[in-house]
Amino acid sequence: MFSKILIANRGEIAVRIIRACKEMGISTVAVYSEADKDALHVALADESYCIGPYPADKSYLDEDKLISTAIVSGAQAIHPGYGFLSENANFAKACRKNGIVFIGPDPSLMEDVGDKTKIKALVSKTKLKPIPGTDVLETPQEALDAAEKIGYPVMLKARSGGGGKGIRLVNGPSELTDMYNLAVAEAKASFGDGGVYLEKYVYPARHIEVQVLADEYGNVVCLGERDCSIQRNHQKLLEETPSPGVSQEAREALMSDVAEAVKAIGYCGVGTMEFLFDRQGNFWFMEMNVRLQVEHCVTEMLTMIDLVKWQIRVAAGVELYITQKDIRTRGAAIECRINALTPGTINMLHVPGGPHVRFDSYLFIGDQVPPYYDSLVGKLIVYAGVRDEAVRKMKAALCELVIGGINVNIQEQLEIISDEKFMDGSYDLTFMEDR
């Protein structure tokens, strides 16, 4: 096992990883930009190093500074969290070249699995059904020709990255050229890769993802599915597990097919396979995320399995002693993402309590929420024995959560979970559009 890990991230996920490391007896190294010098993850880590000014490309995305800091501090491994360099195969290669373990999949596998066109080709050889689409398109004319064959509407999608960046819905040929140029520009700015491809637009549908955990010895377990259909502009707002729209029979079949596909790919680590679930009962494979997900917490609450700890163990070569028969997914868990709508200084903070209520955050009274990074300031998660109780528990927790000094989206989250379609579980990806 590692004795020291550098966390190449900030905010609530850096805090989450540091806490897991402390429980495992692992020393931690925090890195921070000048804007984050007083941040919670800096205070909690055993060591901390400033790696540059607030622009991410001069600090959190500076590969040389991160690796140099790991070497100087004596860290044996780097945990990338999510976002930033978490899916960057070149960074993973640079870590390996310098004798540092990247806590994630093998760099060459990351290149194949992280490329959304390559992973679709890989899973097409398994029982999973990829959404009909194209390889990477070089020109708007190629996109026009392909869309004509696929049939409108279509989705333009970035080959790399995630977080809803580089995605555009195209309803007809008159929109395609402009949308293609916008998607390419956004993908290049967000991920340094302007490659985009086309997919058939599956509509209406639910966004369902399956959490997997695999080791280097070929052992794979599926930790249930999450419903991530509450989204705005392809950005997730709320997640729950299990999905109220998936039957137990369909769930078991999906878990079996996903486990088989993960083994066939040879994946090792924590990962997520994402699907669109249509009204005809088809699970259409979209992509695989090769990192920890923001919404991993609901799976942890449901299964009582610490995904961060297992991500670290697997990277250290520990064999999974958990089998599929050990996975228990009774009850229901819900997560609401708490986003800052304005920057500012936290002058009041009250966190809800009670059994099975969790708030993952980096906030404290006096903390500065800067305008430079992702707006996520916390995640409120609840668990209960049945879904109805989990919904009521989340309402109570949201009403109790107080964050003063900045504007946050607590009221909107209350409105979402109080909506009739959410309460009866009949919602899909059209939910926020309809609202």
Query: CATH classification of 4-103 is 3.40.33.10, yes or no?
Result: no
> Does the pLDDT value for residue 114 go beyond 90?
no
* SS3 label, residue 174: helix
Alpha carbons 53 and 200: distance in angstroms, whole number? 42
Distances (CA, A) of 366 to 3, 223, 347, 348: 32, 38, 6, 8
> What is the number of residues in the chain?
435
Catalytic residue among 10, 251, 291, 337: 291
Task: Give the single-character DSSP code of 137.
Answer: B
- Residue 299's φ and ψ, nearest 5 degrees, are -65, -40
Q: What is the mean pLDDT of residues 71-84?
A: 97
Confidence grade of residue 329 (pLDDT, cut at 50, 70, 90): confident
Question: Quick one: pLDDT at residue 346?
Answer: 98
Q: Domain segments of the chain: what residues? A: 4-103, 132-200, 205-434
- Among candidate residues 193, 175, 177, 176, the one with its CA nearest the CA of residue 185: 193
Task: Say if residues 206 and 192 touch (Cβ distance below 8 Å).
Answer: no
358 pLDDT tier (thresholds 50, 70, 90): very high
Mean pLDDT of 6-20: 98
Look at residue 328 and tell me whether its pLDDT is greater than 90.
no
Measured CA angle at 246 (ends 384, 115), to 5 deg: 105
pLDDT tens for each residue of 300-318 = 999 999 999 999 999 999 9
pLDDT of residue 116: 82
pTM for this prediction: 0.94
Asked whether the beta carbons of 412 and 386 are under 8 A apart, the reply is: no
Say whether 252 sits in a helix, a strand or coil: helix
| Domain range 205-434, CATH architecture | 2-Layer Sandwich (3.30)
| pLDDT tens readout for residues 80-91 | 999 999 999 999
Q: In which band, very low, low, confident or very high, does the pLDDT at 165 lie, cut at 50, 70 and 90?
A: confident
Summarize the confidence of residues 283-302 as an average pLDDT.
96
Least confident of 186-195, 279-288, 308-317: 186-195
Contact 80, 8 (CB under 8 A): yes
Rounded distance between C-alpha atoms, residue 14 and residue 42, angstroms? 9
Q: Which helix (H) or strand (E) holds 64?
A: helix 63-73
Is 162 a residue whose pLDDT tops 80?
no
Q: With 90 as the cut, is the pLDDT of residue 154 above it? A: yes
pLDDT of residue 188: 87
Q: How confident is the model at residue 160 (pLDDT cuts 50, 70, 90)?
A: confident
Q: Would you say residue 164 has pLDDT above 90?
A: no
CA 365, CA 115: separation in Å to the nearest integer?
41
Active site residue 291: yes
Task: Please say whether the structural domain 132-200 has been given the CATH code 1.20.120.80.
Answer: no
List pLDDT tens digits, range 361-374.
999 999 999 999 99
- Mean pLDDT value of segment 115-127: 90
pLDDT at 435: 85
Above 90 in pLDDT, residue 37? Answer: yes
- The reported pLDDT for the residue numbered 278 is 97
**Residues 422 and 416 sit within 8 Å (Cβ to Cβ):** yes
Distance CA 230, CA 431 (A): 6
Q: How confident is residue 179, by pLDDT bands cut at 50, 70 and 90?
A: very high
Q: Specify the residue for token string 């989705």.
A: 155
Contact 51, 59 (CB under 8 A): yes
Q: What is the pLDDT of residue 52?
A: 98
Three-state secondary structure call for residue 169: strand
